[in-house]
Amino acid sequence: MSSDNQAGRLEGHDIEEYNQIVDPWKVALHQTETGQFGGRLEFVQLNGILVYREYWSRSILATGATPKGYFMLGGTLSPQKRTTWCRQVLDSSNLACGQPGSETEFTTPTNARHAVILLPADLMRSYFGEETIEAALTPEHHTLGSTGTYSSPLLASMNYTIDKYLKHPELLRDVEECKNIESMLMEVVETIITHHAKETAISGANIRNKAFKRAIEICEHLKKSISIPRLAAQVGVSQRTLELSFQETVGISPRTFMRWCRIRAAHRELLQHDPAITKVSDVAANWNFTEFGRFATEYKRLVGESPSETLRKRKSSTPRRISDLLR
């Protein structure tokens, strides 16, 4: 799929000609009634997002798959006529959805119109995070919503985008213009995802709780701090969600928590080593603290004593544990 910002209109005057138009998407159209077929596809592509509107003059069965690397949302613009997506009825209250590469089956009646938005998976993850996407766009759900809260705002935004840039395609050369439209579309998508996550009983609090637990597991095994965006990516949420999960649970940032995990690891190592043959600086370096003065200051603030004091008080015997009382 081209990455150029552009708008245009494509037409096919028989089913085979139209199949050639949509062939790159691995979709095949099958006419399910007699009569000459006519099809029209109006599209806008900006910042990797593809928004398009289609008209088919004859009833159609379309089979194939959502393009790899893209999430799909779409809705009927002919709600008074029977349209189905993966054998579920589409009307004015809901939307079709598809994950990257997922199989599709789409049926439309005579003279039907519909609109679709294809969203790059990387863009979706950067906006919402993996955890949120998994919660809202599950493989089990082929349609979203039971009220017009879902379909109306998105369809209106898609129609607005297509109408505007078909009339003024030169505006797509304006970087700021395209960014504003991207933001508008993604805000609508965010509303849909948030509503659906609530409908499937997966709240934002649960998402943050899962994110926090995953992040803790990762932080406890790091010998060197990683960037917050990278930690968020490993956990599968946005950076904002990750930071909020830490503030809600422990009242500190994930960056601080990562650093404290490494200080605690250095503390445990100092307790286990012989002060006669161990240097505090070596232990600090082992946990990737390159500025010894800063390490010592933060260590004392967290542990309540200096690293050298910890090393000197090393005990030869293992302290009793609560498990000893249960023997």
The CATH number covering residue 138 comes to 2.60.120.10
Q: Both 71 and 99 in a single domain?
A: yes
User: Is residue 71 assigned to a domain?
Assistant: yes
Per-residue pLDDT of the chain (327 residues; tens, 9 = 90+): 555 899 999 999 989 989 888 876 788 899 998 889 999 999 999 999 999 999 999 999 999 889 999 999 999 999 888 999 988 899 888 899 988 988 889 999 999 999 999 999 999 988 888 777 776 776 666 788 755 556 788 999 999 999 999 999 999 999 999 999 999 999 999 888 877 766 655 556 777 888 888 999 998 888 888 899 999 989 888 888 899 889 888 888 999 998 888 888 888 888 787 777 778 777 888 787 878 888 888 888 888 888 888 778 755 445 555 444 444
pLDDT attached to residue 171:
96
User: Is residue 239 assigned to a domain?
Assistant: yes
pLDDT attached to residue 322:
47
User: Is residue 211 assigned to a domain?
Assistant: yes
Q: Both 123 and 227 in a single domain?
A: no
- Expressed as residue numbers, the domain containing 229 is 204-318
Domain final position from 199, 220, 245 = 199
User: Is residue 327 assigned to a domain?
Assistant: no
User: Is residue 284 assigned to a domain?
Assistant: yes
CA distance 285 to 305: 19
Domain final position from 184, 199, 214 = 199
What total number of domains does the chain contain? 2
Residue 215 is part of a domain; what is its CATH number?
A: 1.10.10.60
Q: Both 294 and 183 in a single domain?
A: no
pLDDT attached to residue 316:
46
Q: Both 236 and 280 in a single domain?
A: yes
Q: Both 11 and 35 in a single domain?
A: yes
**For the chain, how many residues are written?**
327
Tell me if 94 sits within 8 A of 144, measured CB to CB: yes
pLDDT attached to residue 311:
79
CA distance 196 to 189: 11
Domain final position from 199, 232, 247 = 199
Q: pTM of this prediction?
A: 0.62
Tell me if 211 sits within 8 A of 241, measured CB to CB: yes
For helices 175-199 and 204-219, give the axis angle rounded to 10 degrees.
Answer: 100
Q: Both 111 and 135 in a single domain?
A: yes
User: Is residue 323 assigned to a domain?
Assistant: no
Q: Both 44 and 168 in a single domain?
A: yes
User: Is residue 325 assigned to a domain?
Assistant: no
Torsional sign, CA 163, 167, 173, 176: negative
Q: Both 176 and 217 in a single domain?
A: no
User: Is residue 326 assigned to a domain?
Assistant: no
Is residue 250 left, alpha or beta, with left meaning phi > 0 and alpha meaning psi from -120 to 50?
alpha
Q: Both 37 and 178 in a single domain?
A: yes
Q: Both 190 and 211 in a single domain?
A: no
Tell me if 311 sits within 8 A of 273, measured CB to CB: yes
Q: Both 212 and 195 in a single domain?
A: no
Q: Both 49 and 187 in a single domain?
A: yes
